[in-house]
Amino acid sequence: MKFINKTILFSFLLGSAMLTSCLDNDLVTNTERFTKETKLIDNYLADNGLEDQAIVDTQSGLRYIINDEGDSLTIEDYDSMRVDYSIRLLKTGEEVFFGEDEMLKLDDQIVGWRILMPNVMQGGDITMFIPSYYGFGGLPRGEAPAYSTLIVDVALHEIKHLTEEEQFAYDQSRIDAYLEGSEVNVRLDTLSGMRYSITTEGTGASPGVSSTINVSYTGYLLDDRNLTTSSFDSQQSLELKLSELIEGWQILMPYVKAGDAGKAGGEIRMYIPSKYGYGRSRVSTLPSNAVLIFDVRLNSVL
């Protein structure tokens, strides 16, 4: 088998996931189940003379075969794709799902699809071997019983990237869902549509776009699927030129005031859709179309 190391957005959780369930009357962990199902996949590949064609994604452990690489676009999170697909049970070969010329959102598919589909380009064809952990798990779906190991064939005819307007609307919907039920007093910048909240008003000067500011901040990445955040950056007493920062900061930071006469600076929380952040670019550990949240204290305007 070929081994290819791919960077993915999903952590390989099997080593720590210790939820248990019943398989063949034995009490097993997710790790043990994954190992057993992967062994069945490897046996299938060997029995059908496919072992040399199979590639292993070393971060997830998933096996796949590229039947046709394609020749143009690569799919990204939240893109839609026009595909023909067939989902079969490894154990019996029975086809349990199929579709022809269907437009699907990558983000709506099982985790195995979301991990492996970026390995094939538009016009390509891929076969994915997906253990239940990255498939339907312990839930029966249609004709697929619980804990099904799947063979998924996908012919990727077309990739449809979201337009800037569609991506912005999607980002805003996720921010709104994240804020739903919270007691935060959220304000709106009417020109950009961005949300923000002022924790502490501050009593000093407000910055302009050309200002140099001294700030302390923590940045968070919004996990769109689970509506949770993870910190990706934190700085204390850092001097920055506002004009050199992402547009979201340039638009929202003027709403907060610096400290004055020994008083603490104002504090703002900014909810920044990807349009006003890094857009489709991948920056450091951030994925493309990242939705960002910043907690910022404006210490001074220099």
User: What confidence tens digit (pLDDT) does each residue in 167-187 have?
Assistant: 899 899 989 999 998 888 999
In this model, does residue 271 exceed pLDDT 80?
Answer: yes
Length of the chain: 302
In this model, does residue 19 exceed pLDDT 80?
Answer: no
Highest mean pLDDT among 14-23, 95-104, 157-166, 217-226: 95-104
Which pLDDT score, from 0 to 100, does residue 225 have? 57
In this model, does residue 31 exceed pLDDT 80?
Answer: yes
H/E element, 181: none
pTM of the shown model: 0.59
d(CA 184, CA 202): 18
pLDDT mean over 239-253: 97
Alpha-carbon separation of residue 133 from 13, 29, 31, 102, 282 (angstroms): 10, 11, 9, 25, 28
User: What confidence tens digit (pLDDT) does each residue in 66-76 have?
Assistant: 999 998 788 98
DSSP of 217-276: EEEEEEETTTTEEEEEEEEEEEEEEGGGS-HHHHHHGGGS----TTPPPPEEEEEE-GGG
